[in-house]
Amino acid sequence: LTGCGCCGADADAVPCPQVLKETLRVYPTIPGTRRWLQRPCVIDGIHIPAPVSVILSTYIMGRMAKFFDDPLRFDPERFSPDAPKPYYCYFPFALGPRSCLGQVFAQVSGWSLGVGECKCVCV
C-alpha cells in the first residue's frame, strides 16, 4: 500500500489486526453477551441477587471513556503491542469458557481478507 491520496497518511503504518480489533470495538457484531449469575454479588455497591440473568453490552463498553480514551475516535493504535490491554471491557467474542467457538476462525479470516485492504479513511 502507498500513502493516502488525500491526507498523505502511511496506510502501511497500522497492522490490519489492530484495525480489525478497533473496528470490532466500535462496531461489535453482537450488541452484548448474557450470563447467569449463580451466586449473589455486589458490584460498585449494588447488590445483585441470584439467580439472575446479567447482560454485558459490548457496544456500550466500547464507548465508555472510563475504559477507552476518546472512545468515539477510531484509533487502531489502542491495540498496538505496547498499549495497555483492556481485558474485561473489550470482548467482541465474549469471554471465558463460553466464548465464541469461531473466534480464531473469524480473526484469521478477517486478517487474511484484509491483507492489502487497510486504507486511510479521511473524514
The pLDDT tens digits for 41-56 are 998 899 999 999 988 8
The verdict on residue 37 lying in a domain is: no
Residue 82 within a domain:
yes
Q: Is residue 41 part of a domain?
A: no
Is a pLDDT exceeding 80 seen at residue 70?
A: yes
Is residue 122 one of the residues assigned to a domain?
no
- Structural contact between residues 11 and 118, judged by C-beta atoms closer than 8 angstroms: yes
As a whole number, mean pLDDT of residues 5-32 equals 74
Is 44 among the domain residues? no
Distance between CA atoms of 35 and 54, rounded to whole angstroms?
A: 5
Q: Which domain holds residue 21?
A: 16-25+58-113
Crossing angle of helices 103-114 and 16-26, rounded to 10°: 120
Q: Give the tens place of pLDDT for each residue, 71-87.
A: 999 999 988 888 887 77
Give the number of domains in the chain: 1
pLDDT at 117 (0 to 100): 52
In a domain, 42, yes or no: no
Q: Establish if 63 belongs to a structural domain.
A: yes
E strand residue ranges, the chain: 32-37, 41-43, 46-48, 52-57
Query: Do the domain assignments include residue 36?
Result: no
For 100-115, write each residue's pLDDT tens digit: 777 777 777 776 665 5
